[in-house]
Amino acid sequence: MFAYFVRRLLAAIPVMLVVALAVFLLLRLAPGDPAAIIAGDTASAAQIESIRVALGLDQPLHTQFYLWISRLLQGDFGTSLISQTSVMGMITQRLEPTISLALAAIVFTVLIAVPLGVIAAWRQGSFIDNLVMSVSVVGFSVPVFVIGYLLIQVFAIELRWLPVQGYRHLADGFGEFASRLVLPALTLSSVYIALIARMTRASMLEVLKEDYIRTARAKGLGERLVLFRHALRNAGVPILTVIGTGFALMVSGVVVTESVFNIPGLGRLIVDAVLARDYPVIQALILLTAGLYVIINLLIDLSYALTDPRIRY
Amino acid sequence: MRNDTPVLHVESLVVETTGTSPRTILKGVSFEIHAGETLCLVGESGSGKSVSSLATMGLLPPRSLRATGGRITLDGESLLEASAKRLSALRGSRMAMIFQEPMTALNPVLSVGQQLDEVLACHTQATRAERRTQVLEALEQVHLPDIQRVYQSFPHQLSGGQRQRIMIAMALLLKPRLLIADEPTTALDVTTQHQILALIRELQEKHGTAVLFITHDMGVVVDIADRVCVMNTGEIVEQGPVRELLGAPQEAYTQRLLAAVPSLTPRPTRPVTSQRQVLSVSELEKEYAPPRRLLGFIGKKRAGTRAVDKASFTLQAGRTLGIVGESGSGKSTLARCVMRLIDPTSGTIRVDGNNIAELQQRSLKPHRGRIQMVFQDPYRSLNPRLTIGQSLIEGPMNYGTSRAVAMARAKELLQLVGLPSDAIERFPHQFSGGQRQRIAIARALAMEPDVIVADEAVSALDVSVQAQVLALLDDIQQRLGVAVLFITHDLRVAAQICDDVLVMQRGRIVEYGPAEEVLGNPQDSYTRQLIDAAPGRTWDFAACAPVA
């Protein structure tokens, strides 16, 4: 298992290099002179030239790449063209809100979707099954911002249980932090609850046909044990896959939820950077996202081995 | 040892399918089993044997089947009227069940210890330590080696025989009054089967358990039954003590069933009709690479698994060579190498004189048609979305035959294998297992091969259907002169169809020669062991009498 882990980490190096190369070329292959694009419409020739030198664009390509990579390895992602602050600093600032939101959403998803899926599969064709399935169609089809505004209307404006929007850092106290996270996390999880409840149901239906489920019943075990101890763990691999990918998706793009709840997270940073053509920020965010996917995929694969003893790496 | 109240009493049991137009699956089945007695329910697939046992356990699939009439009583307690909770309490403690497929009957993600422990945890008040002691005792009772290790193991780390022992240990943990064994040895090798049957007998004698034993294998019946119930299409056709029933079957159905059991005595050798050597294999080896390790390229190279070790044999046109052996002996790997479905490590395979062992995919293509395969499971080897006609013409059309010609040939082939010509328009699900295997044979013949490789081609079929398919293969061989490489674990089948037999053990050929000699007068100790373990060898089914 450890050897596998090391091998996978080593295998991630070429992947990240290819991503880095693509990101590097992104700027160089953009139509026109990157320095001119960066400088904007009103820049003078001297300004463009100074940007070109600052970016090292007067050097040959391989030298540029080498310089860029070696800075990256030192944690230097460059400086934002717009705010003139360090890209690394901008990202770390935004990381906490996004990661907190994604984690909370995943926790809600698992706590709500998995039991719903299990019960729906157990009582296949019953009222509760139909209810879960129809609610999950709603979860898929209603846009996220609608769900967000509905939740705000009900829980923040009418019932006044929770704040309307905003974000507080965990360092400012857990109560403040958590109360502002509940509604956005629920909003964000709506699609994933629908998806994972369906996945769980489908996967459980397969497993419930297996011989060992019949064995478990023949032993005289109660239904709760049959479902949760014997069936769910066997149904787990596809569910884990979706949960892992879901988490990666949440971290890399939760623009709508962040906008509805006015949370200063990564999603909005991405949109702002793209709109402003802030290339150093875009590059850093693409690299970060790619790295995140590599790590999450590795964690998903390792989690298979933890749920299923037959999987050995 | 028999007392008056039976442990299990099933009276006029009726089971129907649910839904708007219910079909009757069991039509008033009655039998009883006393303490210490073994009752065998025998019959072909679909006869209702398993449904009877599942109804007793209260495990009928609730969405498709339900008991609508009759009574089932366990020690005087009515089971059909019992609440779900009461049934749960009885299952595992008073009545227990072991199943056919030990590979899938245990939960793959829980350790053996956990799976046995939970039986005690849900039926008794014993503490964790007491439960552990009891579980280890039970594992010891079923003669498992190294029980501490087995306790920690997961099912996939154990062999089929070991898993079935664990199932038995689990079933007998709480010393139930009734043990239901549904085809418990069907998926096992003969030598393992022999041991498991002996184990069930031993534990039954020790605890006085009543055993309901379900099987389709008459040989097993001879070895284990006290009394026999023969079932057919949801009814009990005939029942009685084993010797009486086998010795003097009254009903025509029972007589037919017994007559279809292939004899262990090899058929007389057929005269050699052709000297043309269509397949010759020499020094064939297949080695699987060892698992990769980090830095595995440094240091000593680890040995791989040698699945086939220097196998050599020849096959003439019109002859049948049987490859027999237990699971893991390498017989299927050998067949797959010969077919070039997997690549052999070394050695030669000559098909009609051409060595195909090292040909690349492209240059292999012209030779593929010469050697065709019939697989074990007719339910999965035909594409369910293609009509029979489409399946039959696909091969020849790939080799340039025109559609019209291929279709005409397909119709002839269906006639040859004894199916109506309108079968060509239909889909696989509209046929029974035996009919599908006929289709699979027709599909193989469509390529006009010199050799047919039949990998356990009749193992999934009931004995009467098995006899028909074997007769068909024989007939086709007479007419077309095709050679057959017949892979089987069933020595009875091998004795009835093969001219020559090759016995494999752990990848090596231990004995190879004419069937009459290998099976009639085995030289190798492993071959003898296989023959001794064959179930029911003390009974001569053709003569309806014990073997003299």
β-pairing verdict for B95-98 and B305-316: unpaired
Instruction: Kindly state the percentage of chain B with pLDDT values over 90.
Output: 42
Interface membership of A71 toward B (CB under 8 Å) = no
Considering the domain architecture, whether residues A179 and A273 belong to the same structural domain is answered as yes
Instruction: Please give the mean pLDDT across all residues of chain A.
Output: 85
The CA distance from B84 to B90, in Å, is: 10
Residues of chain B with CATH 3.40.50.300: 8-104+177-259, 277-289+303-370+449-546
Which CATH fold topology does B8-104+177-259 show? Rossmann fold (3.40.50)
Tell whether A82 is covered by a domain: no
Count of other CB atoms within 10 angstroms of residue B341: 12
Q: Report chain A's terminal Cα–Cα distance, integer Å.
A: 5
pLDDT of A82 strictly over 50: yes
Q: Which residue has the higher pLDDT, B124 or B102?
A: B124
Count of other CB atoms within 10 angstroms of residue A148: 22
Count of other CB atoms within 10 angstroms of residue B17: 12
Q: Mean pLDDT across the stretch A220-230?
A: 90
| Long-range CB contacts for residues B339-344, cutoff 8 Å, separation at least 24 | B339/B371, B339/B373, B339/B453, B340/B364, B340/B368, B341/B373, B342/B286, B344/B284, B344/B285, B344/B286, B344/B308
Q: Mean pLDDT across the stretch A17-33?
A: 78
Q: Which of A79-88, A108-117, B108-117, B521-530 has the lowest mean pLDDT?
A: A79-88
Interface membership of A129 toward B (CB under 8 Å) = no
Tell whether A80 is covered by a domain: no
Q: Which pLDDT score is estimated for B387?
A: 92
ipTM: 0.77
Task: Please list every residue in chain B whose beta carbon sits closer than 8 Å to the beta carbon of residue A305.
Answer: none
CATH of the domain at A220: 1.10.3720.10
Considering the domain architecture, whether residues A148 and A287 belong to the same structural domain is answered as yes
Q: Which of A51-60, B212-221, B263-272 has the lowest mean pLDDT?
A: A51-60
Tell whether A84 is covered by a domain: no
Tell whether A83 is covered by a domain: no
Pick from A4, A215, A234: which is nearest to B109 by CB? A234
Considering the domain architecture, whether residues A118 and A256 belong to the same structural domain is answered as yes
DSSP chain A: -HHHHHHHHHHHHHHHHHHHHHHHHHHHHSSS-HHHHHH-TT--HHHHHHHHHHHTTTS-HHHHHHHHHHHHHTT---B-TTT-SBHHHHHHHHHHHHHHHHHHHHHHHHHHHHHHHHHHHHTTTSHHHHHHHHHHHHHHHS-HHHHHHHHIIIIIIIS--S-SS----GGG-HHHHHHTTHHHHHHHHHHHHHHHHHHHHHHHHHHHTSHHHHHHHHTT--HHHIIIIIITTTTHHHHHHHHHHHHHHHHH--HHHHHHTT---HHHHHHHHHHTT-HHHHHHHHHHHHHHHHHHHHHHHHHHHHH-TT---
CA distance A103 to chain B (A): 27
pLDDT of A34 strictly over 70: no
CA distance A287 to chain B (A): 28
Domain boundary among A73, A107, A122: A73
Interface membership of A174 toward B (CB under 8 Å) = no
Considering the domain architecture, whether residues A260 and A180 belong to the same structural domain is answered as yes
Considering the domain architecture, whether residues A164 and A29 belong to the same structural domain is answered as no
* One-letter identity of residue B487: I
Tell whether A270 is covered by a domain: yes
Taking a C-beta distance cutoff of 8 angstroms, is the pair B227, B37 a contact?
A: yes
Q: Mean pLDDT across the stretch A121-137?
A: 90
pLDDT of A147 strictly over 80: yes
Tell whether A165 is covered by a domain: yes
Instruction: Please give the mean pLDDT across all residues of chain B.
Output: 88
Q: Which pLDDT score is estimated for B306?
A: 84
Find all residues with CB under 8 Å of B542, minimum gap 6, and list them.
B259, B263
Q: Which pLDDT score is estimated for B1?
A: 45
**pLDDT tens sequence across B355-386:** 888 888 888 888 888 999 998 888 888 998 99
Q: Which pLDDT score is estimated for B376?
A: 83
- Interface probe for A, chosen from B101, B109, B157 (most Cβ of A below 10 Å), is B109
Interface membership of A123 toward B (CB under 8 Å) = no
If one counts the domains in chain A, the total is 2
Which CATH fold topology does B277-289+303-370+449-546 show? Rossmann fold (3.40.50)
Q: Which pLDDT score is estimated for A33?
A: 66
Structure tokens at B445: 């013949």
pLDDT band per the 50, 70, 90 thresholds, residue B11 = very high
Q: Which pLDDT score is estimated for A275?
A: 81
**pLDDT tens sequence across B320-344:** 999 998 887 888 889 989 999 888 9
CB-count burial class (<10 Å; 0-12, 13-18, 19+) for B418 = middle
Considering the domain architecture, whether residues A157 and A282 belong to the same structural domain is answered as yes
Considering the domain architecture, whether residues A54 and A112 belong to the same structural domain is answered as no
Considering the domain architecture, whether residues A98 and A69 belong to the same structural domain is answered as no
Tell whether A235 is covered by a domain: yes
**pLDDT tens sequence across A262-295:** 888 888 888 888 887 777 888 888 888 888 888 8
pLDDT of A253 strictly over 70: no
Range of the domain at A204: 94-307
3-state secondary structure of B330: coil
Task: Please list every residue in chain A whose beta carbon sits closer than 8 Å to the beta carbon of residue B91.
Answer: 217-220
- Interface probe for B, chosen from A203, A206, A209, A212 (most Cβ of B below 10 Å), is A212
